[in-house]
Amino acid sequence: MRVLAGCAGEVAAQDDRESDFYAEALAWLVARPDVADEGIDSPPLYIEHLGPDGISLDVQVDLIDHFDGLVELRFVDARAEAVDESLVEMPVRDDSVLVGLGPISDDQPTELRAELYRDLDDVTAYRFTMRRSDGEWTLAEAPEVVDPEGLVADP
């Protein structure tokens, strides 16, 4: 029984770390005026994971709760849920943005890639570097603009 409790604790700690990281990156992105508008009529922000494992349901719930009242988050399992593939430009539905969140590195410094997709010609990528301070993960510096990788590839 101790092993199970230990494993459950490790999973919860990993989920907390991911929730904190993704919340920091999304908060920075949502603060950009070209990404999200506050208000009840603002379009949802679509979220796709760029790694093989996806974002756990617990982390998704944490993020939805964190951004409640600020912006609606919609997690997608397939890019077609967010992108209108019937149009040549393949824009995001609802005049919104698709955010691709990459896996969180285990390296030091700890990094996370996030990409913003509006259509085939409008994809921007950032590398977020995080640090732990007073028990919380925060941005170590302003995100660095990098070449897109995940959202320019076929889903």
Give me the residues paired with residue 127 across strands: 113, 144
Q: What is the pLDDT of residue 69?
A: 87
* C-alpha dist (Å) from residue 70 to 2, 56, 61, 113, 131: 40, 22, 15, 22, 25
Give me the residues paired with residue 74 across strands: 46
Peptide bond connecting 109 to the previous residue in cis, omega within 30 degrees of 0: yes
Domain boundaries, the chain: 2-146
Q: What is the pLDDT of residue 11?
A: 45
Q: 3-state DSSP call for residue 31? A: coil
CA distance 71 to 147: 26
Q: What is the pLDDT of residue 53?
A: 87
Helix (H) or strand (E) holding 23: helix 2-30
Q: What is the pLDDT of residue 66?
A: 94
* C-alpha dist (Å) from residue 53 to 15, 27, 49, 101, 122: 13, 23, 8, 12, 26
Q: What is the pLDDT of residue 38?
A: 53
* Residue 90 in tokens: 């393949």
Alpha helices in 31-122 (DSSP H): 57-66
Q: What is the pLDDT of residue 29?
A: 92
pLDDT in tens, 122-150: 999 999 999 888 877 888 889 999 999 98
CA distance 52 to 54: 6
pLDDT in tens, 45-96: 999 999 888 999 999 999 999 999 889 999 999 999 999 999 999 999 998 9
Residue 145 backbone dihedrals phi, psi, to 5 degrees:
-75, 130
